[in-house]
Amino acid sequence: MRSPESLAEEQVLVRAVQQGDEGAFGKLVDRYLDSAYATALSVLRNAHDAEDAVQSAFIRALERIDQLKPGSPFGPWFYRVLRSTCLNLRRREALRSHEEIPVSAAGGRDPERDLRDELTRERVMVALAELPEMQRLAITLYDLEGYSHQEIGEILGIAVGTSRAHVHHARRALRRLLGPGVGTVDGHNESME
């Protein structure tokens, strides 16, 4: 969950953007770029399409920033824009397949460890791809992005209890799919939701 200070700072940035400050929008982009990419990737399952969707979503968000009500948090609103963009892209293009290029390790790192990490990431991404879309989105937003079930409900247009159920079932399915040695996505026990 976002801190009150972070939310207040974000609202200042939103007001600045609404008054025409593009630099303030750049700061919002910096805050959400990595998590937006992870979310888009969980929906589209393709790095190139996820990058396109994130770029389009940020453009749409900038064009529609005046629709964000004063005092409303930017994050949940932006993720609704992103989700809509991803779904539209998927429908419109019937997603073409791309050959994934492995992420190369930074210099000076242990190649064996980097390979293990990459294989683990790959296993997790494959397992996430097996989940139904709403479970995949809910667990990505909850475990990886830190949103509350209330915020996830607002973003996805579902009840809080439904968000909890999606996260619970996604964790159970991931444990089954990943088997021993990988653990849960966030390292938390299910009962802690």
> Could you tell me the CATH number of the domain that includes residue 157?
1.10.10.10
Residue 39 near residue 141 (C-beta atoms within 8 A): yes
Residue 127 near residue 174 (C-beta atoms within 8 A): yes
Q: At what angle do helices 22-44 and 4-18 cross, to 10 degrees?
A: 110
All residues at 6 or more sequence positions from 99 whose CB lies less than 8 Å from its CB, including other chains: none
Q: Does 106 fall in a domain?
A: no
Question: Taking the CA atoms of the chain, what radius of gyration do you get in angstroms?
Answer: 18
Looking at the structure, tell me whether residues 116 and 72 fall in a common domain: no
Looking at the structure, tell me whether residues 82 and 10 fall in a common domain: yes
Q: Quote the longest CA-to-CA distance of the chain.
A: 52
All residues at 6 or more sequence positions from 19 whose CB lies less than 8 Å from its CB, including other chains: none
Q: Does 98 fall in a domain?
A: no
* Average pLDDT score over residue span 136-160: 87
Looking at the structure, tell me whether residues 61 and 116 fall in a common domain: no
Indicate whether 191 pLDDT > 50: no
Q: Does 100 fall in a domain?
A: no
Count CA within 13 A, CB hemisphere, residue 164: 8
Looking at the structure, tell me whether residues 75 and 124 fall in a common domain: no
Q: Which pTM was predicted?
A: 0.59
Residue 164 near residue 71 (C-beta atoms within 8 A): no
CATH number at 77 reads 1.10.1740.10
What range defines the domain where residue 86 resides?
4-93
* Average pLDDT score over residue span 101-110: 51
Looking at the structure, tell me whether residues 136 and 89 fall in a common domain: no
| Domain limit, last residue, from 62, 93, 124 | 93
Q: Does 104 fall in a domain?
A: no
Looking at the structure, tell me whether residues 66 and 117 fall in a common domain: no
User: What are the structure tokens assigned to 44, written together?
Assistant: 């589209």
User: What is the percent of the chain where pLDDT is above 90?
Assistant: 34
Q: Does 82 fall in a domain?
A: yes
Could you give the CA distance from residue 46 to residue 41 in angstroms, rounded to a whole number?
A: 6
Q: Does 103 fall in a domain?
A: no
Indicate whether 174 pLDDT > 60: yes
Could you give the CA distance from residue 27 to residue 43 in angstroms, rounded to a whole number?
A: 25
Indicate whether 2 pLDDT > 60: yes
* Average pLDDT score over residue span 107-128: 72
Tens of pLDDT, residues 152-172 = 998 888 999 999 999 999 999
Q: Does 105 fall in a domain?
A: no
Query: How many structural domains does the chain have?
Result: 2
